C-alpha cells in the first residue's frame, strides 16, 4: 500500500510539473462529417434499405456541416516535436436524400454528439518557420445519436419533418479514429495562432444493431470527418 501511495504521489508531481511546462490553448472551427455507408436502421417503411454505397473515404459526400469547440495542451518534446492532448465537443453525423419516381423527396439527417480526446504528435518542418504536420489517434465517447426524416411533397419547395427517433441504442458507446493533418502557426499580437486541417478516419464500427435477416451479419458503419481547426495559445 505504501509503495502504491508513493507511486501515486510521484505521478501527481510529474503531472503538475508537466502542466507547468505545457501551453494551454482554445480551439474551434467547422466540421464536415459523414458515414462510410447509410445508417442501416431500424426505421419505418419510408427509409430505403440502401440509398447508395456511402461516403467511402470522402467526408463531403452525404455530409453534415456543423461546428466544434474545445481545449488543448501542448508539451514540447524537442525544438521541432510536440505532444498535444485535446478535449473536443463535436456534433457530427450524416445526411442522405432520396428522390422517388413521383417527384417527391425524402431527406434523412443523423445527428451525433460526441466528446473526443485526441492524442497527437506535431512535427514542425523547419525550425525557423512554423508549418507542421500531425498524426495520432482520437478516442470519442458517443453522447447521443438522433435520426430525423424530412419529406418534400410534389410541387413543394419546403421539407417538412415527419419522423424523429433516438437511435442511441443502435449505436456503439465509443469511436476510435486515425487522425492526419497539417497546418501553419504564426505569432499575432504576441500570441501564437494556428490554422490546421485534420482528417479523421474512423476505425471502429459505430452500428450496434441486431441482425435483421437470417445468415446476414450486421452492417459496419464508420465515421469520416474533416475539421478546420483554429486555435490560439492562452497566456
How does pLDDT run across 30-53, given as a tens digit for each residue?
999 999 888 876 665 555 545 555
Instruction: Name the one residue in this structure whose C-alpha cell is 498524426.
Output: 135
pLDDT for the residue numbered 39:
81
pLDDT for the residue numbered 211:
44
Tens-digit pLDDT profile for residues 213-222: 445 566 788 9
Q: At residue 23, does pLDDT exceed 80?
A: yes
In angstroms, rounded to a whole number, what is the distance separating the alpha carbons of residues 222 and 225?
10
| Chain mean pLDDT for the chain | 81
For residue 38, give the C-alpha cell: 447509410
In angstroms, rounded to a whole number, what is the distance separating the alpha carbons of residues 152 and 133?
44
Q: At residue 70, does pLDDT exceed 90?
A: yes
The answer for residues whose C-beta is within 8 angstroms of residue 35's C-beta and 6 or more apart is 54, 55, 62, 93, 94, 110, 206, 221, 222, 223, 224
Average pLDDT over residues 9-38: 73
Burial class (CB in 10 A: 0-12, 13-18, 19+), 198: buried
Of 29-43, 108-122, 172-186, 205-219, least confident by mean pLDDT is: 205-219
Average pLDDT over residues 54-82: 85
Average pLDDT over residues 92-107: 80
pLDDT for the residue numbered 91:
94
Q: At residue 26, does pLDDT exceed 80?
A: yes
Distance of CA 152 to the CA centre of its chain: 30
What structural domains and CATH numbers belong to the chain?
A: 22-234 (2.40.160.20)
Residue 35: closest CA among 15, 12, 52: 52
pLDDT for the residue numbered 16:
46
Instruction: Name the one residue in this structure whose C-alpha cell is 459523414.
Output: 34
Q: What proportion of the chain, given as a percentage, has pLDDT over 90?
A: 40
Residues in the chain: 235
Tens-digit pLDDT profile for residues 155-167: 777 888 888 889 8
In angstroms, rounded to a whole number, what is the distance separating the alpha carbons of residues 85 and 62?
30
H or E segment and range at residue 9: helix 2-21
In degrees rounded to 5, what are phi and psi of residue 79?
-70, -25
Average pLDDT over residues 142-153: 89
C-alpha distances in Å from residue 100, one per residue of 40, 47, 51, 154: 19, 11, 11, 10
User: pTM for this one?
Assistant: 0.82
For residue 12, give the C-alpha cell: 501527481
Amino acid at each position: 500500500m505504501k509503495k502504491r501511495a508513493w507511486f501515486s504521489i510521484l505521478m501527481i508531481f510529474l503531472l503538475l510539473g508537466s502542466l507547468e511546462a505545457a501551453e494551454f490553448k482554445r480551439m474551434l472551427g467547422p466540421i464536415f462529417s459523414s458515414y462510410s455507408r447509410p445508417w442501416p436502421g431500424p426505421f419505418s417503411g419510408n427509409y430505403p434499405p440502401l440509398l447508395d454505397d456511402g461516403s467511402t473515404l470522402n467526408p463531403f459526400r452525404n455530409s453534415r456541416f456543423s461546428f466544434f469547440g474545445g481545449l488543448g495542451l501542448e508539451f514540447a518534446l524537442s525544438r521541432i516535436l510536440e505532444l498535444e492532448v485535446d478535449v473536443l465537443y463535436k456534433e457530427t453525423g450524416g445526411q442522405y436524400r432520396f428522390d422517388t419516381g413521383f417527384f417527391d423527396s425524402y431527406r434523412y439527417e443523423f445527428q451525433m454528439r460526441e466528446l473526443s480526446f485526441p492524442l497527437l504528435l506535431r512535427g514542425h518542418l523547419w525550425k525557423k518557420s512554423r508549418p507542421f504536420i500531425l498524426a495520432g489517434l482520437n478516442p470519442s465517447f458517443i453522447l447521443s445519436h438522433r435520426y430525423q426524416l424530412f419529406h418534400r411533397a410534389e410541387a413543394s419547395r419546403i421539407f417538412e419533418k415527419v419522423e424523429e427517433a433516438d437511435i442511441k441504442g443502435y449505436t456503439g458507446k465509443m469511436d476510435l479514429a486515425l487522425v492526419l493533418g497539417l497546418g501553419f502557426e504564426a505569432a499575432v499580437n504576441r500570441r501564437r495562432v494556428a490554422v490546421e486541417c485534420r482528417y479523421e478516419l474512423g476505425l471502429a464500427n459505430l452500428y450496434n444493431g441486431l441482425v435483421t435477416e437470417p445468415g446476414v451479419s450486421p452492417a459496419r458503419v464508420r465515421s469520416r470527418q474533416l475539421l478546420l481547426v483554429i486555435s490560439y495559445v492562452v497566456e
